[in-house]
Amino acid sequence: MALDTSRKVITRNDSPDIGFDRSINPYRGCEHGCVYCFARPTHAYLGLSPGLDFESKLFAKPDAPALLEKELAAPDYEARMIAIGTNTDPYQPIERERKIMRGILEVLERAGHPVGIVTKSALVTRDIDILSRMAKRNLAKVALSVTTLDPKLARTMEPRASTPPKRLEAIKRLTEAGIPTTVMVAPVIPALNDSEIERILDAAAHAGAREASYVLLRLPLEVRDLFREWLMANYPDRYRHVFTLIRDMRGGRDYDSQWGTRMKGTGPMAWMIGRRFEIACEKLGLNKRRTKLTTDHFAKPKRSGQQLSLF
């Protein structure tokens, strides 16, 4: 493990097909080792491999809470929801020791700043005390990624992530604590886990989830070859079928990065997956209402050396 000495912690984006314009990643790299992770190529920017290095050579940002407080205090900062966990998981195993994510939440709670979290780790329940207080003020929501209910597939595809039952239990505990919780069926992989869509949604709804979303498998850059090698090693009988279906949903290519279609794909198979998802959600009462967080409580942290107002 190495230290990331970045001087800023909030990352901005202007992508038109995602619902946030800023995010935080407490860690670079991810111990979970999910073979399909679209963030793997980011390790190549550091001169490391998107394969084993991504899972084993981690970078932590111990100054993230202090940097965040400084950025929130900037005169020109305007509050909008910060997304955490959109690249690497903030609750991967190293967080048990480092507690950087908890420090970030403490800063956000003090500032009354909204946050949306994505994770596939039951460790998120450690911070129920903070998240439940924030949720009472409409400042927090959590999405749990549940990719499969098959223990064998989960173990090979996401080797060090929380097991599916633990993720469902996390949904239950978060919901019982009053924290709005979403289930993400992500990624949907044709001929591998797409048959589980309805079962995953049913299990999550019974655990208390009230919203749901899905993302089609994305294979940018080096991820394609890593996924292909994994598929050949673990499911050689499905290899050709899986990639044929992927290309059917990506305009004949292994990946299409076009905004608006990169998350859901195109073509008949993609359409069918979308309709199945929508019908299952309707039957289960999911997505009847969407949680919209507020910025009404935001108060800029006092900058170091800033004089307090008399009034």
What's the predicted TM-score (pTM) here?
0.94
Inside any domain, residue 74: yes
DSSP 3-state assignment of 118? strand
The phi and psi torsions of 22 (rounded to 5 degrees) equal -150, 150
Tokens of 90: 């903030």
Residue 18 placed within a domain: yes
Inter-CA distances, 54 with 16, 58, 151, 252, Å: 28, 7, 23, 29
Spatial separation of the C-alpha atoms in residues 246 and 217, rounded to whole Å: 8
47 in a domain, yes or no? Answer: yes
In DSSP terms, which residues pair with 82 in a beta bridge? 115
Domain of residue 147, CATH code: 3.20.20.70
How many domains does one find in the chain? 1
57 inside domain: yes
For residue 291, being part of any structural domain is answered with no
**What residue numbers bound the domain in which 13 lies?**
2-213
Who contacts 70 (Cβ-Cβ below 8 Å, separation ≥6)?
Answer: 301, 303, 304
Residue 280 covered by a domain: no
| Residue 283 within a domain | no
Q: Is residue 86 part of a domain?
A: yes
Distance (Å, whole) CA 295 – CA 114: 6
- Here the tokens at position 173 are 């505990």
Sign of the torsion angle spanned by Cα atoms 42, 10, 26, 227 = negative
Q: pLDDT tens digits, the chain, 311 residues: what are they?
A: 788 888 999 999 988 878 899 999 999 999 999 999 999 999 988 899 999 999 999 999 999 999 999 999 999 999 999 999 999 999 999 999 999 999 999 999 999 999 999 999 999 999 999 999 999 999 999 999 999 999 999 999 999 999 999 999 999 999 999 999 999 999 999 999 999 999 999 999 999 999 999 999 999 999 999 999 999 999 999 999 999 999 999 999 999 888 889 999 999 999 999 999 999 999 999 999 999 999 999 999 987 655 545 44
